[in-house]
Amino acid sequence: MKSFLKSCVFILTLTLGSLCCFSAQKISKILPEEEHKIAELISTRSVAHYMAGVIYELNGELEKALEQYSEAYKAEPANINILYRLGNTQFRLQKFDEAEKSFVTATRIFPDKYLAHFLLAMVYDLRGKLKEAETSYKKGISYAPENLAGYTGLGSIYVKQGKIDEAIEIYKKALRFYPDDEGLWFKAGLLYAERKERKKAIEYLSKAVELNPDWLQSELMLAVELELDGRFEEAFKFYEKSAELMPSDISIYAKLAELSVKIGNFENAEKYYKRLIYLDSDNLENYIVLGTIYLRNNKLEKALEIIQEGRQKNFEVPRLFFLLGIIYFQMNNNTEAIAAYKRALDLGGNEDGILYHLGAAYERVGEYEKSVEAFRSVIENDPGNANACNYLGYLFAEKGENLDEAVGLIKEALEKEPANGAFIDSLGWAYFKQGKLLKATRALKRAVSIVKDDPLIIEHLGDVYYERGLKKQAKKQWERSLKFNPDNEDLRKKIEKICD
């Protein structure tokens, strides 16, 4: 309300600034002849009160200014300048009933004065009389069809009434008179954006930016619409320019960081998340996202460094320790990974997700029973967890125990993901351990056809062939596996053995 009042007062004062001086003039047909005589000259008395009112107003003494304008009005009730000043001062003093009456009087006496209609419309707008404001703006425009204030005011009233189509049309009409007014292009662009007409919104907002390249609001809105339209690289450029205009605005850097990830420019993502951490070091999310970016790009040392930096901020939250555990796991520091996962669980993290990773870490350090316990807990809480079912089934198969349960678990996983090559490999390996070599062969051949370059799956198929006495086929699969994993010395020994 206060900002609206300030804007209105500014417009009123600016408009009336040129009306301070009177000149003796004839005024014809001011009031109905049956009620008033036609005034001929401005009285000396009204001029004195008027000028005193102006001085008080300039000094900020509005109550005294109002008294003087009221006296001037009594002396000269049919003077448009006095009515403007009187209504303006009443408006500034928030005496809206009185201001409305003054401007109504002005429009009645001078119906062809567009300014009187516009000022009355502003009062109506403030008082929530939107229909009346609409009518007043339309009347003003009819007397001044090329006046920008009327179009922008009427457009605003249409928006407040939810008449978006009418608002767009009135702005487009104004653009015929003012094609270089960036504000009109911007307002129309915003309305197209509200209607989710992305192409039109981008067209109009682009024109606003073209006319005023340093207008931050239009730059940002254009960036938003381009992003929503999936034009991430173009959106990035405008966010980047906005950041130049507002170098300390965290929200803009957040957008730049987010878009950098979407575009796949991880160098920029790193730069902007570092900037965010500098500007807002207490925001945990920035540490986690940057750590995740490093992790995905296999920059494990950097990932560990940024998460440890977050820990120094005393962020005791499950997500931070869960991510820390994953980083340690990828670094093959399984002891630290287990400690981090346990801390995440202690802090109330997502139990199933953390337990799954904890089970994998236990399996790596050879704590088989604890690994099985973790995976059983996940499956108990979420029987449809395909990854947990497969992992536990494969564990049993590798250990050569609970093989019937292993097959059952892996089949449950395959019900969820029937074309998962890793799951099919697990089933084939469980069949192999059961001695069901033909079933194992069929499953592993299918797994290899789905995951063509996994050295372990290919080696498994070779193992089955070897067990079936098909040494030539076994050697072929093992050699193929070795091409994908040339550091596998155990496999190399198997190949040498078969050649002897």
Model pLDDT for residues 34-64, shown as the tens digit of each residue: 233 323 334 567 889 999 999 999 999 999 9
Structure tokens at 218: 């239009």
Residue 314 burial class via C-beta count within 10 angstroms: exposed 0-12, middle 13-18, buried 19 and up: exposed
Cα–Cα distances in angstroms (integers) from residue 366 to residues 285, 328, 359, 409, in the given order = 34, 17, 11, 21
Averaged over successive runs of 10 residues, the pLDDT of the chain (500 residues) comes to: 40 36 26 31 73 94 96 93 94 95 96 94 95 97 94 96 96 96 97 96 97 94 96 96 90 95 94 93 93 95 95 88 96 97 90 92 96 96 94 96 97 96 97 97 97 95 96 94 94 86
Please check whether residue 262 is in contact with residue 281, taking contact to mean a CB–CB distance below 8 angstroms.
Answer: no
Two tokens at 19?
């009306």
What is residue 425's three-state secondary structure? helix
And the tokens for 326?
A: 């994953």
229-251 tens-digit pLDDT: 999 999 999 999 999 988 889 99
Under DSSP, the state recorded for 376 is H
Closest CA to 283 of 308, 250, 321, 260: 250
Q: How would you classify residue 289: left for phi > 0, otherwise alpha for psi between -120 and 50, otherwise beta? A: alpha
Q: Give the C-alpha separation, 333 to 335, whole Å.
A: 6
Residue 500: the pLDDT is 66
- Which residue is it, tokens 């290899």? 448
d(CA 377, CA 91): 71
For 247-315, the fitting CATH number among 3.40.50.720, 3.40.50.2300, 1.25.40.10, 3.90.650.10 is 1.25.40.10
Q: How many Å apart are CA 36 and CA 29, to the nearest integer?
A: 9
Tokens encoding 115: 């300014």
Distance from C-alpha of 356 to C-alpha of 391, rounded to nearest angstrom: 9
The predicted pLDDT at position 45 comes to: 73
250-272 burial string, b = 16+ CB within 10 Å, else e?
Answer: eebbbbbbbbbbeeebeebbbeb
* Sequential DSSP letters for 264-313: T-HHHHHHHHHHHHHH-TT-HHHHHHHHHHHHHTT-HHHHHHHHHHHHTT
- Amino acid in position 49: H
For residue 355, which phi and psi values (nearest 5 degrees)? -60, -35
What's the CA gap between 400 and 367, in Å, rounded?
A: 16
Planar angle of CA 479, 465, 386, nearest 5 degrees = 90
Q: Which residues contact 200 (CB under 8 A, 6 or more apart)?
A: 189, 192
The rounded radius of gyration (Å) of the Cα atoms in the chain is: 39
DSSP string, 345-359: HHTT--HHHHHHHHH
Contacts of 181 (CB under 8 A, 6+ apart): 148, 174, 175, 211
| Of 208, 205, 255, nearest in space to 225 by CA | 205
Q: Would you state the pLDDT for residue 209?
A: 96
| Whether the Cβ atoms of residue 118 and residue 157 lie closer than 8 Å to each other | no
Per residue, the 3-state secondary structure of 47-107, as one string, reads HHHHHHHHHHHHCCCHHHHHHHHHHHHHHCCCCHHHHHHHHHHHHHCCCHHHHHHHHHHHH
Distance of CA 361 to the CA centre of its chain: 37
The DSSP secondary structure of 132-181, one letter per residue, reads HHHHHHHHHHHH-TT-HHHHHHHHHHHHHTT-HHHHHHHHHHHHHH-TT-
Q: Which two tokens stand for residue 123?
A: 């009062």
Give yes or no for a contact between 75 and 47, defined as CB atoms under 8 angstroms apart. Answer: no
CATH 1.25.40.10 in the chain: give the residue spans: 247-315
